[in-house]
Amino acid sequence: MRRWLVAALGMAALFATGCHRVEEPLPPLPERLISISDKFFDVAALDADTAIVVGYGGKILRTEDGGFTWARIPSGTDEALYRVRFVDSQRGWICGQDGVILHSEDGGRSWTRQNSGTNAYLFSLHFVDHEFGWAVGDKSLAVHTRDGGRTWTLHKITSAVAEAQSAEEALAEQDPILYDVFFRDRDHGWVSGEFGRLFQTTDGGTTWVARERSLLGPEIVDVLAIPTFFGLSFASANEGVAVGLEGKIARTVDGGRTWKLDAVDAASALTDPLFAPFLFPEGTGWVVGASGQVLRRSSAVEPWLPASLGMEVATWLRSVTWWNHDIGWIVGGYGLILTTRDGGHTWTPALA
């Protein structure tokens, strides 16, 4: 009896101790730098391993190991950041909502805000050296600097050559949004935008001429049917492309004086927008767009063909860039960052 009582008391003590044991708190989960709610709008490659990604909510990410690990860089803003451009491994600029322009002189490790002089959305910028740059955005507005962004001058881009327009055309094309800008040097530049606007300058932006009417022909019979163009890229002083709505790609081979619709694989039947092109100097290139669309051109004389990323992509792709013919980057919605190190044969998503 005594032995049974001792055992019972021991069991009771054991259960009592278990019921009153204080659980150790679990360590907090590390904050994810990349999540499905992220929207990334642009990426710049600084070298074979270093890249900067910008996006919604003022987010800036930087990698130094080809995308294996990432660091979040303070931007000082919650505004969306749309474009990032570097002229060398150290000096770069970012533009975005509310006239935001940020500048880095240490390879994107830190950023300071410059006074753009406007609160308009700035969708794109481009620098040809550490002093000369342009940014473009809403309501046909642009800002220009000749001192690396210490001062910016406000412009409104309109065509220096007046063209006869119907009242409907004039109303539709009033203050179009400008989506992209590209300069080959301090004199020669191009701007693309809403209502198919394709502007060209040969005097550093002092004057601009609208060139989109050269697209009129059997495929586009009405000025109002020219699609909005979201992105520009030039392979040389003469050859460039603009991409936009309805999967349209316009091409110039005379420095932007005239444009024609470029050949796209007929089986692709593109209807969704294309957002960003990238051309290599020899004319090969890549284009990305809505619904995970990716196109590739293997030579300057061949049509654009669909390219596989090796995975199902259920979001828009906003930017594509390449460090060289092997190392490239694509970014888009749902926190998507893809990189390749074999010329686009295989793509790897970034996880952080």
Superfamily of domain 40-156+325-352: Kelch-type beta propeller (2.120.10.80)
**Above 50 in pLDDT, residue 350?**
yes
Mean pLDDT score, 121-145: 98
Complete DSSP assignment for 184-248: SSSS-EEEEEGGG-EEEESSTTSSBEE-GGGG-SSS--SGGGSPPEEEEEESSSS-EEEEEGGG-
From 102-111, 215-224, 237-246, 275-284, the region with the lowest mean pLDDT: 215-224
**Above 70 in pLDDT, residue 28?**
no
Report the CATH architecture of 173-307: 7 Propeller (2.130)
- 68-89 pLDDT per residue, tens: 999 999 999 999 999 999 999 9
Instruction: Give the domain ranges of the chain.
Output: 40-156+325-352, 173-307
User: Under DSSP, is residue 223 helix (H, G, I), strand (E, B) or coil?
Assistant: helix
For residue 267, name the pLDDT band (cuts at 50, 70, 90): confident
> 167: left (phi > 0), else alpha (psi -120 to 50), else beta?
alpha
C-alpha 207/C-alpha 225 separation (Å) is 26
Cβ contacts of residue 159 below 8 Å, gap of 6+? 199, 208, 209, 210
CA-angle at 60, arms to 57 and 62, nearest 5°: 160
Query: How many residues are there in the chain?
Result: 352
The encoded tokens of residue 182 equal: 């590209």
- 158-195 pLDDT per residue, tens: 886 666 666 666 666 678 999 999 999 999 999 999 99
C-alpha 159/C-alpha 142 separation (Å) is 14
Instruction: Quote the percentage of the chain above a pLDDT of 90.
Output: 79
pTM of the model: 0.89
- 242-256 pLDDT per residue, tens: 999 999 999 999 999
**Above 50 in pLDDT, residue 11?**
no
At residue 187, the pLDDT reads 98
Task: Tell me if domain 40-156+325-352 and domain 173-307 are identical in fold.
Answer: no
The encoded tokens of residue 22 equal: 């204080």
